[in-house]
Amino acid sequence: MFHTALFHASLAGNAALTQLNALGDDVLAPSGNGYYVPQKFPFLLRAVGVGNLLMRAQLNAGSLREPGPFDISPVNVGTGILMPPRVQDFRYNPIALTPREELDCSILNSAAGPTRTSVAVWLSDGPVRPATGKIITLRYTNAATAAVAFTWTSWQPVMDNALPAGTYALVGSRLQSTTQLFHRYIPRIAEAGRPGFLSGQADGDNQDYMDRFGAMGEVMRFTHDTIPQVQVFCLAADAAATQIGYMDVIKVG
């Protein structure tokens, strides 16, 4: 299992690395401009940096300072995830962090004035075990909720087709809208994480296939009557009609 968290800010170019602010999160506790590493998810599973004129992104924590902070390279330079995506992927050999230490993020860009930068981190309970079984893909839409720029916006997916009664394992995801960068799911279990994925901005965007068809393992389970909510992170107020998603699932009961 894993949790996806974001650092985000509008920063101008600087001669030195400058901290990004931890985005408000309903699972992780804030610590200064960063997060406390949760005991439930003490491993760094992957990291992604994206921003207009982004030059460098760096993660810093006590457990990462030997021999030095962790640099995210390459990064996605622009206002969307590039194709192919620039992703630091440690699914099968995640980096151990120390629970309850502070995890911070700093960036460097070449902008003359303020520009938006986002860095996403995936924190997990251990290595990913790819999911296997008969995978089906479920399409869904957003009925009415426009995105709020620069924060997580929650909404309930409307499935194209009613699910047969039973239990399903979520094993992959795709979601897109006009300026969307990331999305994650809210299980109907209060203490669970918010597993997330890269997002696209158009039908032709090629999200990384590590997000699809079991490559990220079994993300969560839900029943036909407890479909999880979605949270999206966008750079503008993307209209509900532009938010179109797909869940890869395996029926397990």
Q: What pLDDT does 179 receive?
A: 97
Report pLDDT digits (tens) over 159-170.
Answer: 999 999 999 999
Cβ(176)–Cβ(243) under 8 Å?
A: yes
pTM for this entry:
0.96
Closest to 220 measured CA to CA, from 252, 198, 244: 252
Name every residue whose Cβ is closer than 8 Å to that of residue 113 and which is 6 or more positions away in sequence: 12
- Residues listed for the chain: 253
Return the beta strands (E) in 37-166 as ranges.
43-51, 54-60, 70-72, 76-77, 88-89, 95-96, 102-109, 115-124, 135-142, 152-155, 157-159
pLDDT, mean over the chain: 95
pLDDT for the residue numbered 209: 81
Q: Which of these, 129, 128, 133, lies nearest to 249 by C-alpha position?
A: 133
Paired tokens of 101: 């230490």
CB burial of 207-222 (b: ≥16 within 10 Å; e: otherwise) equals: bbebbbebbbbbbbbb
Structure tokens given for 176: 């897109």
Reply yes or no on whether the pLDDT at 140 is more than 80. yes
Residue 245's pLDDT band, with cuts at 50, 70 and 90, is: very high
CA nearest neighbour of 64 among 11, 6, 109, 121: 121
Q: Could you give the CA distance from residue 65 to residue 69 in angstroms, rounded to a whole number?
A: 5
pLDDT for the residue 11: 92
Whether the CB-CB separation of 49 and 11 falls below 8 Å is answered with: no
In the chain, % of residues over pLDDT 90: 89
pLDDT of residue 185: 98
**What's the pLDDT score for residue 145?**
98
Measured between alpha carbons, how far is 173 from 133 in angstroms, rounded to an integer? 16
Instruction: Give the burial class of 51: count Cβ atoms within 10 A of its Cβ; 0-12 exposed, 13-18 middle, 19 or more buried.
Output: buried
Is it the case that residue 150 has pLDDT exceeding 80? yes
What local confidence, expressed as pLDDT, does residue 14 receive? 79
**pLDDT tens digits for 61-111?**
999 988 789 999 999 999 999 999 999 999 999 999 999 999 999 999 988
pLDDT at 65: 85
| pLDDT (0 to 100) of residue 50 | 97
- Please state which of the ranges 106-115, 158-167, 232-241 shows the lowest mean pLDDT: 106-115
Residue 2, strand partner residues: 124
191 has pLDDT over 80: no
Q: Tell me what the mean pLDDT of segment 187-194 comes to.
A: 85
| Structure tokens given for 243 | 């938010």
**What are the residue boundaries of the structural domains of the chain, listed by start?**
2-124, 135-251
Question: Amino acid letter at 43?
Answer: F
CB 188 within 8 A of CB 222: yes
pLDDT of 76 reads 96
pLDDT band at 215 (very low <50, low <70, confident <90, very high): very high
CATH 2.60.120 fits 2-124, yes or no: yes
CA distance 184 to 182: 7
Q: Look at residue 192 and tell me whether its pLDDT is greater than 90.
A: no
pLDDT value at 208 more than 80: no
CA 185 to chain centre: 9
